[in-house]
Structure 1
Amino acid sequence: MSSWIKYTGYPKDYFNFSIYTWLLIIAWLCSPLLYTVYGRYLYISRVYNKRLKHKIDSNVNEIVIVVLGDLGHSPRMAYHARSFEKLGYHVNLCGYLESDLPKFLSSSEISIYDIPVIKNKRNLPYLVFAAMKVMSQIVDLTFMLKDIMDENTRFVLVQNPPSLPILFIIGMLKRWWAPNVQLIIDWHNLNWSILNLKYQNENHPVVKIMKFYEKYCGSTFADFNLTVTSALRDYLIKEFNLKEDKIVTVHDRPSDIFQPLDSQETLHEILKRNSTVIDPAYYNQLTDRILVTSTSFTPDEDFTVLVNALEQLEKKLSSKNSKYNIIMIVTGKGPLQSSFLEMIKSYNWNHVNIKNVWLPLEEYPNILKIADLGISLHYSSSGLDLPMKIVDLFGSGVPVISMNYPVIKELVKDNVNGIVLKDNKDGNEMATKIYNVLFEDKKLYLTIKEGALLESQIHWNEEWNKNLIDLFSLNRTSKI
């Protein structure tokens, strides 16, 4: 009785359809997706064609500035934003919001957009996390920038590095969404050279792929290029085949928030506000010398040299029973900070007092201006960029001791506005130079101090206006 309801499965030839029948079934199942894709294609085509006919005039007055980094620690891009605002643009500034922004960005003509920060909280392998991060950012940034870029957007200014995936995204949006928008890449360094700090091998496949990608995007998508040094400009022309008339050097210069110390009264006010950094009750201007270095605690800064130099200074001052003391202020935080703190913990300091502090944005320029000498540990992954930290010190009228690499001469003139080391790995040389200029050779110190004060008279506005104001004038109706 029960045998007639026994399940025996589908007949053997039940799904034995022809290939054409299967194609019809698949097409039917995919029809909602195909309809959606086709609808988006028609929409994008209408927008593209409409914008293609849109003429550039003075009403096209928006610029999008993109930084795949913390806006609070991207001074050059913040200065760009203010310069474009002064020129009459509405600025859409996009980046990570991980710290306080400069007050001058609080303007009705500057709109801030927060790019989500993606962190490796699960400690995934580097390449796995990098791939997941890039895919996520492609989606997030495409939808964000698609909504920001409209008929009134004239330029998109992108900081490089990082270049992945932002240069590709802007290139695709230019091609399919905003045909009249012009892409300007502001080259701060080379992304592939920073990646090579991890691999230490320019022929590593990952490094070679990044170099190809960076070169392709720069030569294919960029309408104009800015560089931080003349050496970087020459490299991009020679190695990346960028056109000479489409690239200009705009050297970093300090904002006018960086000013030299103008009076003893100002000094006392700064010390009073920053008593946790320097205790005014124990600070003696006649015998204490303030050194400062600003850092992100990254692999392109060698702190063993600084610590070794400070140890040598401690020994020298102690052996001479010197009345002099050194206050070493290290500002910043980053991935290698804990290693630095471990290094200094193991030594007995008497004449050298080391302070590692994270300064509020408004106090950072004040601490710089009271320093006697600045130290730059930056030696550049590419050898083609310059440290913004030296620029800030010069803006404060503070001379600098710097690591040596070819392009540093574009900023630091040895024995004129600072001192350039001969050996970047020699802590003894750094200690000798510091001791000599602070405690022995007063004439040399006065010379480099005067040179730094001369540097403080040249600010960002002058450099930007000299190189870019005519290029980006709203009255210009032709493309650059």
Structure 2
Amino acid sequence: MSFAQIFIAIWLPLGLVTVVLVLVFLATFPTSYDPYRKELIQLASPDGSKEKEESEMTAEEQIAAPKQLSVETSVQMVVLGDIGRSPRMQYHAASIAKHGGRVDIIGYQESEIHPDLLSSPLVTIVPLDPAPSGLQTSNKLLFLILGPLKVLWQVWSLYRALAYRTQPAKWMLVQNPPSIPTLAVAQLVCFFRNTRLVIDWHNFGYSILALKLGPSHPLVRVSQLYETFFSRMATAHFAVTNAMSAVLNEMSGITARPLHDRPPAHFQPLSKMDRSAFLDKLPETAQYAEDIKQRRWRLIVSSTSWTADEDFSLLLDALVIYSAKATTNTKLPKILAIITGKVTAWLSTEDYASLLGAADLGVSLHTSSSGVDLPMKVVDMFGAGLPVVGWNRFEAWPELVTEGVNGEGFGSADELAGRLLELFGDRQDHLEKLKRGALKECEVRWDDEWDPVAGKLFGLVK
């Protein structure tokens, strides 16, 4: 067969296919952000009336007519997880909208989202299609096979949402982890759409993967290299702790602005009357309400996502130790422990905030895969004026809790049991001191932290 025949039989068809694919790509190329284009958001009229020409309206109808809001800042927010269980990203969205920015939140919509976001004309929820259940597994060997297939599914659904299902935005704020495939897809879309990428570091993706595969597994090393490579190309970074900011700078040369978690306004201490009414109303506490009010029972609250960096057996073992002591010491109160989370008592946003305000003590079991992230549940507890005992064997713990002032730490089930025996037994005055410290801590709110850091970066706060 001659060269010409080979060319016609093989390379010409391949060339034609390539040309067609390029033309299709160019024809469907995602629109880019135009900094000179004025963006207007149509606000709904209070009475839901249809739009009319202004000349046809009465004075009252003109007042009630839909209005347009000029938007200078727009943000795509990426949560490759359940939006409802990503409170920090919801707080970001609420702050951006509060200052007049438009927000598209891209993520999985599996649980309740804060009602303020759902009602805001500046916030749009863009739900991702979940991966087929057949791609989910806890088996290590199957994970190596199904994991890449799940990533491919996520790549396509995320790219489609960012490039075609949403308007171009000035900024893209990405929650990390998960870093795979989020960072690569985000960088690609930002390049196409003239968008500036900001990474909000909650933890490190490779350190969480190490909990599943082990720190020496080759995929963990690959994950770390991937995370470092794509994160370096971002415009800016936020980190949840000073310690994480320092690690990012040392490990990757990244300068991340520390942006500590703080409680939003809906977490508040309860008055004595409101606490009493809530204890009577909540099904989990109703039958013990009077005993809790009289301190014959103590109410403790812990929140868990049942992940590898939360050893829930610590609390169970500590409660067993406490129970054994309480059988011989009748002065010790009984304990009602309420565990909230995905497979336990999942409460509405309002009820969860009230539960924290009604409790006597919060318990954090977060052990931190990286050592430099912090449990947001403790921030929520402080927002409700609730003192905390928590696992303290990691570097960033002192950035959140001042031991002896607003909380206490522990490093084993025996130590946790000891804390409970002290605070509910002979040292109840110390529990009152920790309560006062938590109430003092709750004075610092999310806006106080967000405005001078993220607000200034996005150009929303002068």
Q: TM-score range by the shorter chain?
A: 0.7 to 0.9
- In the TM superposition, residue 26 of structure 1 has moved relative to its aligned partner by 2.6
- Give the match for residue 127 of structure 1: 144
Indicate yes or no: 2:273 matched with 1:269: no
* Deviation readout 1:231-252 (Å, 9 max, x if unpaired): 000000110111x3xx211100
- In the TM superposition, residue 42 of structure 1 has moved relative to its aligned partner by 4.0
Indicate yes or no: 2:441 matched with 1:429: no
- Give the match for residue 10 of structure 1: none
Alpha carbons of 1:20 and 1:47: their partners in 2 closer, same or farther (altered >3 Å)? farther
1:168 to 184, 196, 205: 184
- Give the match for residue 359 of structure 2: 371
- In the TM superposition, residue 381 of structure 1 has moved relative to its aligned partner by 0.2
Distance 2:3 2:160 in 1: 39
Alpha carbons of 1:93 and 1:285: their partners in 2 closer, same or farther (altered >3 Å)? same
- Give the match for residue 212 of structure 2: 198
Query: Which residue identity is paired with 1:213?
Result: Y
Alpha carbons of 1:59 and 1:75: their partners in 2 closer, same or farther (altered >3 Å)? closer
* Deviation readout 1:124-170 (Å, 9 max, x if unpaired): 6101111001111111211221124545x110000000011111011
Spell out structure 1 runs of 4+ moving beyond 6 A. Answer: none
Distance 2:359 2:30 in 1: 59
* Deviation readout 1:384-430 (Å, 9 max, x if unpaired): 10001100100010100011122100011110100012xx2x32221
1:413 to 395, 402, 423: 402
Alpha carbons of 1:440 and 1:156: their partners in 2 closer, same or farther (altered >3 Å)? same
- Give the match for residue 26 of structure 1: 10
Distance 1:306 1:280 in 2: 21
Distance 2:313 2:332 in 1: 26
| Larger CA deviation: 312-321 vs 64-73 | 312-321
Alpha carbons of 1:395 and 1:281: their partners in 2 closer, same or farther (altered >3 Å)? closer
- In the TM superposition, residue 25 of structure 1 has moved relative to its aligned partner by 2.3
Alpha carbons of 1:205 and 1:443: their partners in 2 closer, same or farther (altered >3 Å)? same
Alpha carbons of 1:174 and 1:402: their partners in 2 closer, same or farther (altered >3 Å)? same
Secondary structure (helix, strand or coil) at the match of 2:250 reads: helix
Indicate yes or no: 2:19 matched with 1:35: yes
The answer to whether the 8 Å contact 1:150/1:178 transfers is: no
| Larger CA deviation: 382-391 vs 29-38 | 29-38
Alignment of 1:325-336 (within 5 A): 325-334=334-343
- Give the match for residue 140 of structure 1: 157
* Deviation readout 1:286-322 (Å, 9 max, x if unpaired): 2111111111111111122211110111011101233
Distance 2:24 2:5 in 1: 28
- Give the match for residue 62 of structure 2: none
Aligned residues: 424
Distance 2:407 2:94 in 1: 30
Alignment of 1:91-102 (within 5 A): 91-102=103-114
Alpha carbons of 1:90 and 1:439: their partners in 2 closer, same or farther (altered >3 Å)? same
Distance 1:121 1:259 in 2: 42
Alpha carbons of 1:123 and 1:253: their partners in 2 closer, same or farther (altered >3 Å)? closer
- Give the match for residue 233 of structure 1: 245
Alpha carbons of 1:475 and 1:398: their partners in 2 closer, same or farther (altered >3 Å)? closer
The answer to whether the 8 Å contact 1:120/1:129 transfers is: no
RMSD: 2.2
Alpha carbons of 1:274 and 1:200: their partners in 2 closer, same or farther (altered >3 Å)? same
- Give the match for residue 454 of structure 1: 440
Secondary structure (helix, strand or coil) at the match of 2:457 reads: coil
| Larger CA deviation: 267-276 vs 404-413 | 267-276
- In the TM superposition, residue 227 of structure 1 has moved relative to its aligned partner by 0.5
The answer to whether the 8 Å contact 1:87/1:473 transfers is: no
Indicate yes or no: 2:226 matched with 1:213: yes
Distance 1:60 1:32 in 2: 43
Higher relative CO (CA 8 A, sep ≥ 6), structure 1 or 2?
1
Distance 1:329 1:303 in 2: 13
The answer to whether the 8 Å contact 1:293/1:329 transfers is: yes
> Where does the alignment leave 5 or more consecutive residues of structure 1 unmatched?
1-16, 335-355
> Where does the alignment leave 5 or more consecutive residues of structure 2 unmatched?
39-69
- Give the match for residue 346 of structure 1: none
Alpha carbons of 1:235 and 1:122: their partners in 2 closer, same or farther (altered >3 Å)? closer
* Deviation readout 1:175-221 (Å, 9 max, x if unpaired): 2x112x100000000000000001222x321000000000001112x
The answer to whether the 8 Å contact 1:160/1:189 transfers is: yes
Residue identity over aligned pairs, in percent, reads 33
Indicate yes or no: 2:392 matched with 1:392: no
Alignment of 1:197-346 (within 5 A): 197-201=211-215, 203-220=216-233, 222-242=234-254, 244=255, 247-263=256-272, 265-280=273-288, 283-286=291-294, 287-322=296-331, 324-334=333-343
Secondary structure (helix, strand or coil) at the match of 1:81 reads: helix
